[in-house]
Structure 1
């Protein structure tokens, strides 16, 4: 929150003074009514030149500021969303679409009703806003995709930076889980045919804009429950203050209407009442900043209550690409010779596996420049499904071939390299056979490395490829466990491989050889046990499970069916973000709980400020409650009202930023909440009201 944002939000804050908007917040609506009453009383006192007119006017001004500050917090939160909406709206460009239609011979002509040409199609150019669900459009390189849809023909590179902010293009193709395209993105290459899946005004971009602007933001169940609680407290205090008036009159100490309104405003929980909308909007905003679109605030809150996480192994827990993790040399073979040979065999291999072998070799040996090795006279042997091997043929005199004959270096599947070596007089040593079986048994992939430079080939050793667990996953799962969240890994691997990866990653449970039906069964079993479940998915076969989960996060790269079934969409298509989403949900709930605790707690100090001020003259014994030593009754009441308004402004940045989230158990979180915001809510007003009193007491008509 900065000065420019605050000034920009002021007009909206004033517009929100409309009673039709204010009535949605019972607490602040009560303050609004009180401000109107005090305004009328102040005008009447000013007209008759009453001695208390100055006091009443100052109190009235601060009551109006209290309402304005409450509106300002919501306006600032909405302003941040509107800025994002403006940038998204800039990406929503009106384009002409090439719609494909059937080309039929007109009635009355020969062959009426039949196709005009062989393919039976022709094109017509129509505005993108005229497209309907089911229309077929054609996009080629340089075209903007006119609306959301699924690719039904072709393959193309698409620039989605207008939506995701990621400059790297992505591949979209028909028939798979990466067939979904978004309106407003640009085709960079080739040609695709798209079936439109969203009508004008209901596209993904339209939904994003309306959500970040807050136009479709509905109160969540927790927010509604809190508003009911706040409304109940407000009613209780209204009745208490109304009852207080005749009792005080009986004791000949009837306060003025302004004092009674000030008492009411200070007693009701105005702080949290003013900040509740901003907290909810800011929670959605934090999610959008991480490129995650939630269909409702309820989904964000539910994420905070999640007790079971279903995580796909590939791409979420592991990298998804097999990586080299170890070199195992045969007996009698120098380890460095194996490392250098493995590196040579992979220099021209641009697969993730090949690059990982080169990286591991450079860690274990001396880094070398690939261009110095891959000279024009080197023959590159590409991998093929037939040979299942790749490598290099190095001529005599090459820096990497010190021998008198050509050197052939190969790496590949164990059976293929063993066959290659046996055909050239070599054999597979027993210790390498054992290593191959051991690696295969733990779910890894063994590759053999062999060289041939003379009469007999030699198998030097084994490269161990494994689907590597991402760094820090074990620690993150330990944090989730401390919070009471159960993690379940879903994988299509066999049970041996799944068990090994589950143990390494530190998940609580796993489901091996899983099918989409298995995912759905796990979700239902967890929900029947009273748990809330979150999961990610991107395919059409994931749609039933995404719809059944309490929080379903679909990848933007996935199918339309998956995105429609889920209640969140990750624009970056990063499955690991599910853990962050849970953290954002918990932060939202913690922030609301913390500020509610603070709001209720700081009312305690206001009792000690206002109650003695009202009745100390009539009941001297109440003077003992004036523990702050406030200057006068008027000063005490005014100081409490001013503090009540300023504390809203002071807490707006915290409401927008959120209370810092820590991965601890619910009991520890509650203890910390009570210590910081409960105790702090009691102490802070005593200090704040006293400091304000020292300044207010300088006003001649108030400080005596």
Structure 2
């Protein structure tokens, strides 16, 4: 990355160390907004506008400089028309403005790098434009020779627009952070004891405060719904495109949009503890962190700078002392080498891909805490999933309904059983009730101690009982279907209508449909899929078989999970562990890549290298795919940048001059900037496949 852009990022990095993100605090939100708007103290916007202003002024001055160039006049055959006494002095005056005004950022960079004894790209540009200007000035006032004013002016123009494009690309890649910082509303409707509301600034919100959120408004802070029902758009926070239904007891995220009904919310997280603050913190850390590939690029850029300086010196002395060419030609070759050899594209190759991938990940609900681990994800050999809550919903629900005798269909059987179970608080009862609709009134309800319940539903005597009740009444089960359900680790209850066995309902932790898809996607990538669970062998075997897993580990205690991850690593595989980020923390830490799955405001920011804000296992394959694509983009950019310089330096030095191929400094600047633009455009084509 260029020194100018790097300095800007370092400035922002130090600034952020002293300003803690607090999206719920209006002062900091206003400061954040001011710091990103051009004439309100924005460092980023000011730099971008300054470069663009310098570019346009330099371009306007370049037009007459080009028109006054004797060489260009001769090329197009209009020398006699445009030449007049003193035209060289006018060209000198205009070029002086371009050199000192347009070239100021590069000259400052040259001085800074020399003071730091760290020559880099600014050194190359500064030397190139200084050599062209100083030599041309000597030609005007002291010696005979060819002036380089038009090359100088076009070089400055190209460098300015190249840096502008680079800065805009880098800033645009991190624009998601600014949008996140602006998500919070300015005020909240505080609910008072008499039921009225009072508008207060966000910084006055505290834990336990109750607020009213009207339809179309943004939720002011993280909290839990205490009254009301609505749909909430959380797409900017979690990447979930569909509105999420919210009712009493559901968590909501500050900054999300309430779409339909009014909600009364009790605030439970504000300031730095809020979900939005955690997201901003993680994205900042990821964008400011350096990856292994980036370190490699920085080292390559440093050595290429030394090579370029050495090549420039060798070029000058070789053409001056070992050929019949004059000093002007030697200087021209040297200037061209210094221009075309700038490691501009190389310095941009990795950082821009990092910035784009980090923003792309954040927009889709992937929060990257560890860039190195993210890069490691490209070469994974196995992904180990925690079962409950990851591959399954983590909720006790109806998985199978079996009917007998053909008297009732599955829906009717479930409706009768659920109507009876609505009077019970047992987990089995809640699972059955949640699966049914159109519940009916129950009469003569009675509990059969330890065996089930009974009552009259729609005029029918209905019992929902355990297998023990059937054994006690000596009711035999037809076929072996019920035994198969039990062997899968499922809980089976039986439905009797008018004392006749009519069917059965099996309950268990339901497998996510997305889980099947992610396993298929990982297999297509050549990655093995495994499962860790504390469940018994039968349940684990059933889930593994249903999903087509390559391996599984059953009856594993939380403290044993890390050992199982290590066991898979000893097979020679690079391993990712995927879990909820809480009880899986040791396993996440042991894995080469820890992927924590969080839901809404329950993001575990202190665990996992990568955090997925949605409880969707498909995101595991998506983030691995993004890591692979990101690495490919980095390699492509590095190959282009280094390959370009390897080809361009000898060409700029004039090794093909004997064949009539000679590059001018301006053409060298065009080629160098073209390389930079190609690298930037290639990075911007980075996309996420789901």
TM-score normalised by the chain length of structure 1: 0.64
What displacement does 1:260 show?
1.9
Query: Is 1:338–1:460's contact at 8 Å kept on the other side of the alignment?
Result: no
1:81 aligns with 2:171: no
CA distance in 1, matches of 2:454, 2:313: 89
1:377–1:236 Cα change, 3 Å: closer
Structure 2 alignment gaps of length 5 or more: 1-37, 39-43, 55-104, 192-199, 423-428
Equivalent in the alignment of 1:11? 49
Query: Is 1:610–1:633's contact at 8 Å kept on the other side of the alignment?
Result: yes
1:654–1:536 Cα change, 3 Å: same
What displacement does 1:248 show?
2.0
> Which of 225, 230, 237 is matched with 2:296 structurally?
225
1:129–1:43 Cα change, 3 Å: farther
1:281–1:544 Cα change, 3 Å: same
Query: Is 1:276–1:592's contact at 8 Å kept on the other side of the alignment?
Result: yes
Equivalent in the alignment of 1:431? 478
1:481–1:169 Cα change, 3 Å: closer
Query: Is 1:411–1:417's contact at 8 Å kept on the other side of the alignment?
Result: no
1:633-670 CA-partner distances (Å, limit 9, x unpaired): 257x65454233124224423202327779xxxxxxxx
Query: Is 1:327–1:338's contact at 8 Å kept on the other side of the alignment?
Result: no
Structure 1 alignment gaps of length 5 or more: 99-125, 359-369, 395-405, 624-630, 663-704
CA distance in 2, matches of 1:385, 1:168: 40
1:345 aligns with 2:439: no
Query: Is 1:391–1:408's contact at 8 Å kept on the other side of the alignment?
Result: yes
SS of the residue 2:390 aligns to: coil
Query: Is 1:140–1:189's contact at 8 Å kept on the other side of the alignment?
Result: no
> Which of 33, 37, 43 is matched with 2:126 structurally?
33
Query: Is 1:392–1:408's contact at 8 Å kept on the other side of the alignment?
Result: yes
1:215–1:537 Cα change, 3 Å: closer
Equivalent in the alignment of 1:288? 362
Equivalent in the alignment of 2:497? 451
Q: Figure out how many residues of one structure are paired with residues of the other and give that number.
A: 564
1:393 aligns with 2:457: yes
RMSD between aligned residues: 5.2
Equivalent in the alignment of 2:488? 442
Equivalent in the alignment of 2:350? 276
What displacement does 1:285 show?
0.4
What displacement does 1:430 show?
3.9
CA distance in 1, matches of 2:120, 2:447: 71
1:30-72 CA-partner distances (Å, limit 9, x unpaired): 4433443355247527745977436x62365246524642552
1:512–1:53 Cα change, 3 Å: same
What aligned pairs does 1:197-236 form with structure 2 within 5 A after superposition? 205-206=276-277, 208-209=279-280, 212=283, 217-236=288-307
Equivalent in the alignment of 1:649? 677
Higher mean C-alpha deviation, range 308-317 or range 475-484: 475-484
Query: Is 1:32–1:67's contact at 8 Å kept on the other side of the alignment?
Result: no
SS of the residue 1:450 aligns to: strand
1:317 aligns with 2:401: no
CA distance in 1, matches of 2:433, 2:399: 12
1:202–1:386 Cα change, 3 Å: closer
Equivalent in the alignment of 1:680? none
What displacement does 1:440 show?
0.7
Query: Is 1:546–1:562's contact at 8 Å kept on the other side of the alignment?
Result: no
What aligned pairs does 1:468-507 form with structure 2 within 5 A after superposition? 468-471=510-513, 473-474=515-516, 476-481=518-523, 483=525, 485-507=527-549
What aligned pairs does 1:680-699 form with structure 2 within 5 A after superposition? none
Equivalent in the alignment of 2:212? 142
> Which of 141, 158, 166 is matched with 1:65 structurally?
158
Equivalent in the alignment of 2:147? 53
1:634–1:305 Cα change, 3 Å: closer
> Which of 451, 454, 460 is matched with 2:502 structurally?
460
CA distance in 2, matches of 1:127, 1:42: 63
CA distance in 2, matches of 1:655, 1:509: 37
SS of the residue 1:565 aligns to: coil
1:91 aligns with 2:184: yes
1:204–1:263 Cα change, 3 Å: same
1:140–1:496 Cα change, 3 Å: same
Equivalent in the alignment of 1:701? none
Equivalent in the alignment of 1:401? none
CA distance in 2, matches of 1:40, 1:391: 99
SS of the residue 1:654 aligns to: helix
1:252 aligns with 2:324: yes
What displacement does 1:470 show?
3.7
1:168 aligns with 2:210: no
Query: Is 1:59–1:641's contact at 8 Å kept on the other side of the alignment?
Result: no
CA distance in 1, matches of 2:368, 2:227: 29
1:633 aligns with 2:662: yes
Query: Is 1:97–1:146's contact at 8 Å kept on the other side of the alignment?
Result: no
SS of the residue 1:431 aligns to: coil
What displacement does 1:344 show?
4.4
CA distance in 1, matches of 2:446, 2:294: 61
CA distance in 2, matches of 1:86, 1:21: 36
What displacement does 1:211 show?
5.5
1:563 aligns with 2:605: yes
SS of the residue 1:488 aligns to: strand
1:169–1:304 Cα change, 3 Å: same
CA distance in 1, matches of 2:531, 2:111: 46
1:386-414 CA-partner distances (Å, limit 9, x unpaired): 774689723xxxxxxxxxxx444565644
1:157–1:471 Cα change, 3 Å: closer
TM-score normalised by the chain length of structure 2: 0.65
SS of the residue 2:605 aligns to: helix
